Chain A
Amino acid sequence: MTGKKSLEELQALTKTIRRRIVEMTGAAKSGHPGGSLSAVEIVATLFFDVMNHDPQNPHWEDRDRFILSKGHGCPVLYAVMAECGYTPVEQLNTLRKLGSIYQGHPDRRFIPALEASTGSLGQGLSIGLGMALAARLDGKPWRTYVVLGDGEIQEGQIWEAAMFASFHKVDNLVAIVDYNRIQLDGFVKDIMELEPLADKWRSFGWHVVELDGHSIPALREAFAVPAAVKGKPTVVIAHTVKGKGVSFMENNPKWHGVAPSPQEVELALKELA
Chain B
Amino acid sequence: MSTKAVKLQSELKMGAATRAAFGDALLELARQDERIVVCDADLSKSTMTHKFAQAFPHRFFSCGIAEANMVGVGAGLASAGKIAVVSSFSCFVANKGFEQLRVAVAYPQVKSFKVVGTHSGISIGEDGPSQMAVEDLSLACALPGFVVISPADEVSMKALFRAAVYHDGPVYVRAGRAPAPIVHSPDRAFELGKAVELVPGADVAIVATGLMVAEAIRAAEQLETEGVSARVLDMHTIKPLDREAIHRAAAQTGAVVVAEEHLVDSGLGVRVAQVVAETHPAVMEFVGIQDTYAESGTPAGLLEKYGLVASNVAAAARRALDRKKQG
Contacts and interface: CB of A to CB of B under 8 A. Distances in A.
A and B assemble together: yes
Interface string A96-111: 0000000000011100
Contacts of A126: 68-73, 75-76, 100, 104
User: Main SS of the interface on chain A?
Assistant: helix
Nearest to B74: A130
Interface stretch (B46-54, B78-86, B134-142, B285-293): B78-86
A138 B59 CA distance: 11
Given A129-B76, A131-B77, A133-B73, A123 B104 contact: yes
B109 A129 contact: no
A123 B59 contact: no
A157 B69 contact: yes
Contacts of A125: 72
B100 A117 contact: no
A116 interface: yes
B43 interface: no
B53 to A, nearest CB: 14
Nearest to A106: B108
B103 interface: yes
Given A116-B108, A117-B108, A130 B80 contact: yes
A135 B80 contact: yes
A121 B90 CA distance: 24
Nearest to A130: B76
B4 interface: no
A167 interface: yes
Nearest to A133: B77
A65 B77 CA distance: 12
B99 interface: yes
A162 to B, nearest CB: 9
Contact of A129 (B73, B99, B100, B103): B73
B44 to A, nearest CB: 16
B77 A134 contact: yes
A237 B298 CA distance: 53
B93 to A, nearest CB: 14
Contacts of A108: 108-109
A157 B59 contact: no
Nearest to B80: A134
B79 A130 contact: yes
B114 to A, nearest CB: 14
Contact of A167 (B64, B76, B99, B109): B64
A123 B103 contact: yes
A134 B108 contact: no
B55 to A, nearest CB: 15
B37 interface: yes
A123 B100 contact: yes
Given A120-B99, A123-B104, A137-B37, A161 B69 contact: yes
Given A115-B79, A116-B104, A123-B100, A130 B68 contact: no
Interface string A76-110: 00000000000000000000000000000001110
Residue among A126, A130, A164 having the largest count of chain B Cβ atoms under 10 Å: A130
B166 interface: no
A164 B59 contact: no
Contacts of A129: 69, 72-73, 76
Contact of A132 (B59, B76, B104): B76
Contacts of B77: 130-131, 133-134
B58 interface: yes
A91 B2 CA distance: 66
A134 B58 CA distance: 11
Interface string A163-182: 11001100000000000000
A131 B75 CA distance: 8
A134 B81 contact: yes
Nearest to B73: A130
A182 B162 CA distance: 48
Interface centre among A119, A129, A137, by most B CB within 10 Å? A137
B63 interface: yes
A131 B76 contact: yes
A115 B104 CA distance: 11
A168 B69 CA distance: 13
A135 B76 CA distance: 10
B76 A134 contact: yes
A156 interface: yes
A137 B82 contact: yes
B306 interface: no
B28 to A, nearest CB: 20
A243 interface: no
Contacts of B29: none
A123 B100 CA distance: 7
A128 interface: yes
B66 interface: yes
6 contacts: A108-B109, A116-B104, A119-B103, A135-B80, A137-B82, A164-B69
By Cβ-Cβ distance, the 8 closest A-B pairs, closest first, are A130-B76, A126-B72, A134-B80, A160-B69, A160-B66, A130-B77, A130-B73, A127-B76
Given A127-B79, A130-B80, A137-B82, 14 more contacts: A117-B108, A123-B103, A126-B68, A127-B75, A127-B76, A133-B61, A133-B77, A137-B37, A157-B66, A160-B66, A164-B64, A164-B66, A164-B69, A168-B61
